[in-house]
Amino acid sequence: MKKYRVALVGVGAVGAEMIRVLREKDFPAESIQVFASRERTETIAGEEFHILPTTNDSFKGLDIVLFAGGTDASVAFRDAVVSAGAVMIDNSRAFRQDPDVPLVVPQVNAEDLEWHHGVIANPNCTTAIMLEAVAPLHKAKRLRRLVAATYQAASGAGAKGMQELEDQARAAAEGRPLVVSAFKYQLFDNLIPHIDKFDETNWYTLEELKMRNEARKMLHAPDLGISCTSVRVPIPRAHSESLNLEFEEDITPDEAREILSNSPGVKVVDDPLAGHYPMPLDASGKYDVLAGRIRQDISRNDKRGLEMFVSGDQLLRGAALNAVEIAEELVRRNLVHR
């Protein structure tokens, strides 16, 4: 089997998951090099790496470079990666709306990889989780409108967000003051309906607008009606979403369950009388997006509306797993060239 020289830029919660998923999925990596802001030795996902500082010369001789750092690093080193002949798979927001950059979840729009020019973007975590479950229904019945409410875990703010929630829970139990740093307000015992900056022209947050803009691009549906409210919730890991879906054709809950049961990357968990429905606790650490609470929208007098609830691991489906699956699909399609 052909082997590929892989690199990771950025060491954090997502970067650690990328290393772990590469190993779990037995990706054909001849080597894995890790780059960050400074040189050091560090254990990542149980494996010791000699981390080197990132420079424009870091990417020579590499085949695939996974970016798990911030937007600034992705922008700064894009040209160096492409010039070196490697493929950049970027987890930041830097290139998601660039018309020359495919924005991809392999189960949704793998065909877009065929026109990449050296850079491929990972979508926002909530978009990736949503589309894993929504895209198969869209392909079958053509989605017209979607209204979403997201319940986003502390992991969406990275390792520092997860640690802050844990520290606040411990401080509350011990009667100590709660320290607030990673979020605008304390997250423990609270909900925060504010993720990212507000767009003062419409008062949606950028997080909410990402859902609309990215879903339209990935589904090739530029006029798709999408509205979203994003809320940070006090759980450590895995995002959940309540989705109201309107289709151009009739669709029943049984039809939706049948479609999703045959869709890779989705697990239908939908037996409410037995207490089986998607929950972030069950989605944490899992590759599949859980879909359930599928029911006809009773606010309508036709059969073109559904309600659904989904949960998915933000660090996996929303980031690391998706990046590795993009790399796997590139290899499968022979789109990595030395």
For 83-120, how does the pLDDT look when each residue is reduced to its tens digit (9 = 90+)?
Answer: 999 999 999 999 999 999 999 999 999 999 999 999 99
Helices (H), 111-157: 125-141
Angle at CA 108, nearest 5°, toward 102 and 109?
35
Domains for the chain: give ranges and CATH numbers.
4-123+319-332 (3.40.50.720), 127-314 (3.30.360.10)
Average pLDDT over residues 307-313: 98
Q: Which two tokens stand for residue 195?
A: 């993720």
Angle at CA 112, nearest 5°, toward 117 and 33?
55
Q: Is the dihedral of CA 193, 232, 212, 225 positive or negative?
A: negative
Quote the pLDDT of residue 159: 86
Average pLDDT over residues 68-83: 95
CA distance 245 to 306: 5
CA distance 203 to 198: 6
Question: What percentage of the chain reaches a pLDDT higher than 90?
Answer: 96
Give the CA-trace dihedral at 206, 211, 212, 217, to 10 degrees. Answer: 120
Active site residue 220: no
CA distance 273 to 245: 23
Residue 338 has pLDDT above 70, yes or no: no
Q: What is the 8-class DSSP label of residue 300? A: S
Alpha-carbon 115 to chain mean position: 21
CA distance 272 to 307: 14
Measuring CA to CA, which residue among 255, 302, 314, 324 is closest to residue 25?
324
Q: Indicate which residue of 138, 228, 239, 337 is catalytic.
A: 239
pTM over 0.85: yes
| Stretch (H or E) spanning 212 | helix 206-219
Question: CB-based contacts of 180: which residues, under 8 Å, 6+ apart?
Answer: 164, 186
DSSP E strands, the chain:
4-9, 29-36, 40-44, 47-53, 64-67, 87-90, 119-121, 143-152, 225-232, 239-247, 266-268, 289-296, 305-312
| Band of pLDDT at residue 158, cut at 50, 70 and 90 | confident
Quote the pLDDT of residue 219: 98
Q: Indicate which residue of 50, 117, 125, 138 is catalytic.
A: 125
Average pLDDT over residues 133-139: 98
CA distance 146 to 36: 39
Query: Helix, strand, or coil here: 88?
Result: strand
CA distance 18 to 12: 10
The average confidence (pLDDT) of the chain is 96
Q: How many CB atoms within 10 Å of residue 77? A: 23
Residue 146 has pLDDT above 80, yes or no: yes
